[in-house]
Structure 1
Amino acid sequence: MKPQSMKAETAAKKLGILLDAAPEEFRAAVITRDELAALQADPPEWLETLRREGPHPRNVVAAKLGVSNSGLARGGVTEPITTAEIKALLEAPPAWLVQERATQAAVRAEKIRVADRDKERAARRAAGGGGGSGV
């Protein structure tokens, strides 16, 4: 039975690294699930360095800055950036970052509010309260 494999691009996404910053032997490889698991369990030095210092892919940059991928684009961050650049942005946040972090916080708060409302409605239905118009 042939082991399942993936392109290096897919493996890089699963590892949270920027493919272009990985060594050539990784970029040119077809990675099996077992090889990916081994990289995750015991990362080589190059992988640890990439995760620690970057450059990082957009989704990692967005998470570290506490904004959405769209927020990065609105802020003009279109290229991968390093951990040092992320720290600099967090230490002296530009106006766009302050705004995007506030937007992200509002989105999270709204998601929590809706989830709480839905739990409350489900609890009332389970208790036989009904009471809703079924909209």
Structure 2
Amino acid sequence: MTSHQSTQTMKPATAAKKLGVYLEATPAEFRESVVSRSELNQLQANPPQWLQDLRSNGPHPRPAVAAKLGVSIAGLARGGVTEPLTTEQIETLKQENPEWLERERATQAEVRKEADRIKKKNAERAERRD
């Protein structure tokens, strides 16, 4: 019995998400075609100039904006940021440090602190069981 291996493909939106870029800012030929796993690997290994530019200058998708600002995606929405931002806009926000950004960073720090506490507690329980 022979098995036929089909090429795994994905929608442009999925590929853009895996590449960490905003789909609407990608070239038309990228948005209008399916991307194979090998093409995605090639883009990650040897990014073309458009991909390098998007990664460094943006516009960045909300998960990337949230990470660069040190807040959650929900925190971005609470702060009124619903559109993709460029690197320059993100840097401006960091410098201005509006009240909502300070508040959301503090909230995110508390969430991380609580996650660490729970992780440590679970590790201690696991040690006691052993």
Q: Shorter-chain TM-score: which interval? A: over 0.9
* 2:119 is the alignment partner of 1:115: yes
Per the alignment, residue 40 of structure 1 pairs with 44
CA distance in 1, matches of 2:53, 2:95: 22
The Cα shift of 1:125 comes to: 1.6
Q: What is the DSSP-based 3-state SS (H/G/I as helix, E as strand, rest coil) of the residue aligned with 1:97? A: helix
RMSD of the TM alignment (CA)?
0.6
Q: Give per-residue Cα distances to partners, 1:80-122, cap 9 Å, x unaligned.
A: 1100000111112100000000000000000000110111111
CA distance in 2, matches of 1:6, 1:58: 21
Per the alignment, residue 130 of structure 1 pairs with none
CA distance in 2, matches of 1:102, 1:87: 19
The Cα shift of 1:124 comes to: 1.2
Where has structure 1 moved over 2 Å in runs of 4 or more?
A: none
In percent, how many aligned pairs have the same letter?
59
Per the alignment, residue 12 of structure 1 pairs with 16
CA distance in 1, matches of 2:129, 2:39: 48
TM-score by length of 1: 0.92
User: What runs of 5+ residues in structure 2 fail to find an aligned partner?
Assistant: none
TM-score by length of 2: 0.95
The Cα shift of 1:2 comes to: 2.5
Amino acid at match of 1:5: T
